[in-house]
Structure 1
Amino acid sequence: MKQTGPQPGLKHTSRLLVDDSLTVPAVSDALPGFADMPHVFASAYLLAFVENTCIEAVAPLLPEGSKTVGTHADLSHSAATPVGMTVTASVELIEVEGRRLRFAVECRDDQDLISTGHHERHVIDTSKFDQHVAAKAATTAP
């Protein structure tokens, strides 16, 4: 039987130019502890960039009506990246177990290795997922 969908060995690379909007102080007005932090690439955006790179890797291989959602991340952030440098994320799908996809991750800026680790995503049926979220939201008191 022919296997369909994402398979181990799939690799994908993305690049991102770090600008002011991707720095630690820019993370959120709702989280004031970040306001006076160093003006470097934020770990929150590093994680989002890794997630986006994994999404790009598998999206063309998913069945119609499916997407992936992030369920686990274990990433280092071992070097600061200043505004103006480019970050490159390289991901490799190393394990597929049912709907669970596990990626090995490496990120580099123009000078240093800045992150290594793993990220997991699960394939979801978008319609069922949206129905579940709507039902959960309906239990919240106004």
Structure 2
Amino acid sequence: MRDTLKIGDEFTFEYVVDANKTVPNLYPESEEYRKMPEVFATGFMVGLLEWCCIEALHPHLDEGEGSLGTFISTSHCAPTPPGMKVTVTARCVEIRNSNNVFWEVVARDELEVIAEGRHGRHVIQTDRFLARVDKKKQTLERSAA
């Protein structure tokens, strides 16, 4: 990772909540989920917070690098119906060992704050990570045989 990212750097990301990002769609095979209100699901909201941080970090990565979410601590304090715009702001608050980046995140819909928290991402060498995943798959395949 380049040394261009600085503590205090901010990034803003906007997303309009689609009907397929509501609670009943999170695990549609679950009868209990299907009975829940059609509002932005916490699981999808966490993904949106990560997406904002992925976009914020991307310009600071070297060729062949990517990032993985390694930490999330967030509230989800207000419902958002489909069709509302959510704006996420990520502020870099910590960089550890030049490859672990932590962000304070805040998400607001058009009326109020819907989430606040902290997210961590680990910068990886994509090819090395994929080799590790392949090795794990092969181990599983051998043990199943």
Q: Which TM bucket (shorter chain)?
A: over 0.9
* 2:125 is equivalent to residue 128 of structure 1: no
Q: Residue 101 of structure 2 aligns with which residue?
A: 101
Q: How does 1:1-142 map to 2 (within 5 A)?
A: 4-98=3-97, 99-140=99-140, 141=144
Residue 135 to residue 14, structure 1, CA distance change in 2 (3 Å): same
More helix by share: 2
Unaligned runs of 5+ residues in structure 2 are none
Higher mean alpha-carbon deviation, 34-43 vs 5-14, is at: 5-14
| 26-35 or 75-84: bigger deviation | 26-35
* Residue identity in the other structure for 1:105: V
In 1: Cα distance, 2:36 partner to 2:74 partner: 20
Q: Which moved more, 1:7-16 or 1:60-69?
A: 7-16
TM-score (norm 2): 0.91
Residue deviations 1:3-55 (CA, integer Å, cap 9, x gap): 72422122111111112111001113344431111100000111000101000
Tell me, what secondary structure is at the counterpart of 2:87? strand
Letter in 2 for 1:85: M
Once the 2 structures are TM-superposed, how far is the Cα of residue 111 of structure 1 from its aligned partner? Answer: 0.6
- 8 A contact 1:6–1:62 mirrored in 2: no
Q: 1:5 to 1:136 in 2, by over 3 A?
A: farther
2:124 aligned partner, one-letter code: I
> Percent identity between the aligned chains?
35
RMSD between aligned residues: 1.3
CA distance in 2, matches of 1:61, 1:30: 39
Cα pair 1:5 1:63 within 8 Å, conserved? no
State how far apart, in whole Å, the 1-side matches of 2:65 and 2:25 are.
32
Where structure 1 has 5 or more consecutive residues not aligned to the other structure, the ranges are none
Worse-superposed segment, 26-35 or 78-87? 26-35
* Aligned equivalents of 2:47, 2:31: Cα separation in 1: 20
Alignment partners' CA distance in 2, 1:87 and 1:30: 27
Aligned length: 140
TM-score w.r.t. the length of structure 1 is 0.93
Over 3 Å counting, the alpha-carbon distance change for 1:28 and 1:11 in structure 2 is same
Larger CA deviation: 97-106 vs 31-40: 31-40
